[in-house]
Amino acid sequence: MAQDNILDLAARRSGVDLSPCAACPVRGLSICGVLDDEQIRRLSDITSEVTLAPGQALFYEQDAAEHLYVIKTGCARVYKLLADGRRMVTGFLFTSDLVGLAEAGIYAYSCEAVTGLALCRFPRAKLQTMFEQYPHMERRMLEIATNELAAAQDQMVLLGRKTAQEKLASFLYLLMLRIERHSGKGGSITVPMSRGDIADHLGLTTESVSRCFTQFRKIGLIKLDTAHSVTVLDRAKLTEMTGSEDDGFEPHSAAL
C-alpha cells in the first residue's frame, strides 16, 4: 500500500495528463486492461479510491449496488449468511479482482476486508455510460463473469464431492498458483485469512481445517512457518491430493 501511494504521488506530480489509473499496478488486468490511454483517462475521471482496515465491510448483502470495485492491494472475503447465522465464504479476492457484479441493483453478498484493502471505485451509472461508448469494456466484463462462473463451478465440485483433505489441498494449490502468478515463483505462501474464514469457504469447521493443516505438516507436505505462512514442500503430491483431473490441467483462475 505504501508503494501505491508513492506511485500515485509520482503520477500526479508528472503532469495533469497522467491520471492515477495510468500508474496503477492493476492497469493491464481486470477491466482496465482493454483500454487505451485516452480511455484510461476517461475512466480515471469517474474513479475514486477507497481504503479499508482489516475487518471493515465494503458493503453488505441487500445493499443498493451503486459501485463496482477493483482491488488494488490486499485480500477481501465475499460471503453470504443463512437465517441462523451460518456463513458461507463464496470467495476470496486479491489484487486485480473485480467486486460488485450484481443483478437488479442489489448486492447478493457481503464483502469485507481480510487485510488492509485498497480499491478503485467506479459508479455503476457512469460506467454504464462508458460501456455504451466502448463496447469492448462490456465484452471484457462478460469474460470476467464467465471466468468467475467457471471458478464457481469448480468450487461446487469441491464443496459437494471432495473430502476435507482434498478441500484444503485444492485451496492451498489455488492460493499457491495465485501467488506465483502475481509475485514471481517462490518459497512460502502467505495465507492472510483465518482458519475460520477458510473453514467457511470449504464447508468445514475451524477445527477440521486446523487438523488438516497439522496432518499435512506431519506427512511432510507443507511446512508451517506460522499459522499464516505456509511452504509447500511436495508440490506434486499437493496437486495429486486435490482429487481433480489426473493430468495437469489448468484450473480456473477467478475468485480463488
Partner DNA sequence: CGGGAAGTTGAAGAGCGTCAAAAGTAGTGG
Partner DNA sequence: CCACTACTTTTGACGCTCTTCAACTTCCCG
- List the one residue from 5, 128, 163, 183 that touches DNA (CB under 7 A): 163
Q: What is the DSSP string of 133-178?
A: H-HHHHHHHHHHHHHHHHHHHHHHHHHHH--HHHHHHHHHHHHHHH
Count of residues touching DNA (by CB under 7 A): 21
User: Could you say whether residue 157 binds a copy of itself (CB under 8 A)?
Assistant: yes
Distance of CA 6 to the CA centre of its chain: 23
Place of cell 480499491: 119
Q: Which of 50, 151, 145 has the alpha carbon at shortest distance from 91?
A: 151
User: Could you say whether residue 246 binds a copy of itself (CB under 8 A)?
Assistant: yes
Q: What is the grid cell recorded at 16? A: 495533469
- List the one residue from 50, 57, 142, 227 that touches a copy of itself (CB under 8 A): 142
| CB nearer a copy of itself, residue 147 or residue 215 | 147
| CB nearer DNA, residue 81 or residue 149 | 81
Instruction: Indicate the SS3 state at residue 26.
Output: coil
Smallest separation (angstroms) from DNA to the CB of 185: 25
Smallest separation (angstroms) from DNA to the CB of 69: 24
Tell me which stretch binds a copy of itself (CB under 8 A): 28-36, 42-50, 133-141, 212-220: 133-141
Q: Which of 155, 50, 38 has the alpha carbon at shortest distance from 100?
A: 50
| CB nearer DNA, residue 206 or residue 239 | 206
**Residue 224 binds which one of DNA, a copy of itself, none, with CB within 5 to 8 A depending on kind?**
DNA
How many other β-carbons are positioned within 10 Å of the β-carbon of residue 123?
14
Please list, residue by residue across 200-212, b when 16 or more beta carbons sit within 10 angstroms of its beta carbon and e when fewer do. Answer: bbbbbeeebbbeb
User: Could you say whether residue 226 binds DNA (CB under 7 A)?
Assistant: yes
User: Could you say whether residue 29 binds a copy of itself (CB under 8 A)?
Assistant: no
User: Could you say whether residue 13 binds a copy of itself (CB under 8 A)?
Assistant: no
Please report, for residues 57, 110, 219, the alpha-carbon distance to residue 61 in angstroms, rounded to integers and kept in the order given. 11, 5, 41
Element (H, E) at 78: strand 76-81
**Residue 80 binds which one of DNA, a copy of itself, none, with CB within 5 to 8 A depending on kind?**
a copy of itself
Chain contacts with DNA (rule: CB under 7 A): 163-165, 194-196, 203-211, 213-214, 224, 226-228
Chain contacts with a copy of itself (rule: CB under 8 A): 80, 82-84, 86-88, 90, 101-103, 108-109, 131-132, 135, 138-139, 141-143, 145-150, 152-157, 159-162, 200-203, 243-246, 252
